[in-house]
Structures are given as structure tokens and as C-alpha cells.
Amino acid sequence: MFKLSEKVAVVTGGGSGIGRSISTLFGRQGAHVVVLDLDGRAADDTAVAITSAGGIADAATCDVSDAAHVRATFDTIVGRTRRLDILINNAGIAHVGDLERTPEADFDRLYRVNVKGVYLCSQAAVPVMVRQGGGVILNMASIVSFIGVPDRFAYSMTKGAVFTMTKSIAIDYVKHHVRCNCICPARIHTPFVDGFVKKNYPGREAEVLEELSAYQPMGRMGTPEEVAYLALYLCSDESAFVTGQAFPLDGGVLNQ
């Protein structure tokens, strides 16, 4: 069960954190993983880890907010692999600030990466999936797609958009056997989180990490591996009857 043999999986933001965990797990389960990241060296590192463990992987630098770059990248991938079975829209950036403390430049930057990036990559992948008779798109949303979180105005805006894009893609392409779902994590402890805390809360890192952990009723943040295992289910044939759904991975937050 949950094998991905002979499937081609593209993972955006696959160079670190959740994307790296998804990429390495999918590689172990037999997928040919194509790791995309703005940081080409990080993408290469993930691909090397997969191949060193006996899997199949390629890597490429890709700016998901650049239409021409996305199109060229996906054309190259499909030209080489001849198919595209799974797209993980994981690449994303964060922001701290309420409405008044969100500069227009930051708002636009978050939109370009978190929303336009999902749009561009999905737009590149869907025609391939339709042509081959089906495929799976899995988007990374957030619990802020459901609830309000203080000082996350622009980030919440983008993840709300990811949630509704998921629903739209699912209903528009269900007859073409293209499934689309999203995962909505609470706080997940990744190197990105450590860097984000260091940048935005200098001198308070330990305190803020403790606060982030305590936010979940389970008393800890989730792990990238826990997200990856849910992603594996949603991209495997075992979830063939699941589409248009949002799956919280929240340590009990939504039960509060």
C-alpha cells in the first residue's frame, strides 16, 4: 500500500522543511521525484539524498512566481519524463503583521509566491494530467484558511486563496480524473520556522518557540515527517475517492 512506483512527482519548495520530507518519503515509496526550489543548491541536496537512498530524483531551480520560468521548467520536466502524476504545491513564504503593518510590497510579494505560484504550477501541470488520463495536485494551505490568527493578515489571505483554489480545481477537473486536495497544518517545526523566529523575534527565540509549541493543545509543533505521511496518503491510489478536501494537521487547534 501507498506505493508510488512509476509515478512522477514534482515538489515545489522541496529543498528544505516540509518539501524535503515529502520529497524523500515519496522517493522511498518509488516515485521519480523532481525537486524544485528557488535555492538550487538545496534542491540538489534533496535530490542527492533521494538517489543515495536508492531512489530516483532530479532537481531544478525554479521561481514559482515567474510565469515564463515555471512554463519552461515544466516543459523540460515533461519532455524528459513524458508524464506528470503528482504536483505538490508546497513553496511558500510567511509574514508577520496586521492590516496596518503590512506594506504593499510585502503583500504583493506574498501574493506572487503563495497564490500566483500555486496558480502557475497547477496551470502548467493540469493539461499534462488531463492528457494522460489523470493525476493529483496537493496544495499546502494552513489552519489560517479556517480561523483567524493574530498578526498574520497577508499570510492568511494567501492561504485562504489556496483553500478556494483547491476547491475550484477539484470541481473543474474531477471528470478528467484529476484530484486536488490541500493540507492545512498548524505550526510545523522546520528550519524555516527557526529562521523566521530568529529574524522577527531577535533575543526572544526560545520564548517564542515555546509559545508556538504551546499554541497546539498537544503542546508541541508538528514535524515535517507527519505532514509528509498525510501527503503520501493523499497522493496515493488508496485515496482515489478523495478530492476537493482540506485536511487539518493541527495538534487539536481547531477543537479549541
- Mean pLDDT to the nearest integer, 81-110: 97
Assess whether 147 and 209 both reside in one domain: no
Assess whether 196 and 97 both reside in one domain: no
Give the model confidence (pLDDT) of 28-63 as tens digits: 999 999 999 999 999 999 999 999 999 999 999 999
Assess whether 95 and 207 both reside in one domain: no
Residue 256 has pLDDT above 90, yes or no: no
| Residue 163 belongs to a domain | yes
Assess whether 210 and 229 both reside in one domain: no
Assess whether 147 and 169 both reside in one domain: yes
Residue 45 is predicted with a pLDDT of: 98
| Residue 210 belongs to a domain | yes
| Residue 255 belongs to a domain | no
| Residue 253 belongs to a domain | no
- Distance separating alpha carbons of residues 125 and 183, to the nearest angstrom: 19
Residue 41 is predicted with a pLDDT of: 98
Letter for the amino acid at 77? I
- Distance separating alpha carbons of residues 134 and 182, to the nearest angstrom: 17
Assess whether 197 and 133 both reside in one domain: no
- Distance separating alpha carbons of residues 215 and 220, to the nearest angstrom: 8
- Strands, sheet with 86-89, edge to edge from the N-terminal-most edge strand: 56-61, 32-37, 8-12, 86-89, 135-140, 178-185, 246-249
Task: Output the DSSP codes for 67-111.
Answer: HHHHHHHHHHHHHHHS---EEEE-------B-GGG--HHHHHHHI
Cell readout for 163 is 483553500
Q: What percent of the chain has pLDDT over 90?
A: 96
The beta strands (E) that lie in 134-235 are given as: 135-140, 178-185
- Mean pLDDT to the nearest integer, 193-217: 92
The residue from 111, 119, 155, 201 that is catalytic is 155
Assess whether 231 and 206 both reside in one domain: no
* Count of other CB atoms within 10 angstroms of residue 114: 27
Assess whether 172 and 211 both reside in one domain: no
Residue 82 has pLDDT above 90, yes or no: yes
Residue closest to 187 by CA, chosen among 141, 143, 247? 143
pLDDT band, very low/low/confident/very high, at 254 (cuts 50, 70, 90):
very high
Is residue 34 classed exposed, middle or buried when 0-12, 13-18 and 19+ CB atoms within 10 A define those classes? Answer: buried
Assess whether 104 and 216 both reside in one domain: no
Domain assignment of residue 215, given as a range: 191-221
What DSSP element (H or E) covers 232?
helix 224-235
Assess whether 122 and 237 both reside in one domain: yes
Assess whether 20 and 139 both reside in one domain: yes
| Residue 204 belongs to a domain | yes
- Distance separating alpha carbons of residues 240 and 177, to the nearest angstrom: 9
Assess whether 53 and 111 both reside in one domain: yes
Read off the CATH number of the domain in which 46 is found: 3.40.50.720
Number of domains in the chain: 2
What DSSP element (H or E) covers 155?
helix 153-173
Give the model confidence (pLDDT) of 163-182 as tens digits: 999 999 999 999 999 999 99
pLDDT band, very low/low/confident/very high, at 145 (cuts 50, 70, 90):
very high
Query: Are 158 and 114 in contact, with CB atoms under 8 Å apart?
Result: yes
Query: Are 13 and 59 in contact, with CB atoms under 8 Å apart?
Result: no
| Residue 199 belongs to a domain | yes
Residue 192 is predicted with a pLDDT of: 85
pLDDT band, very low/low/confident/very high, at 130 (cuts 50, 70, 90):
very high
| Residue 256 belongs to a domain | no
**Does residue 155 have an active-site annotation?**
yes
The whole-chain average pLDDT of the chain stands at 97
Residue 206 is predicted with a pLDDT of: 94
| Residue 42 belongs to a domain | yes
3-class state of residue 125 by DSSP: helix
Cell readout for 254 is 481547531
Residue closest to 37 by CA, chosen among 144, 110, 121, 157? 121
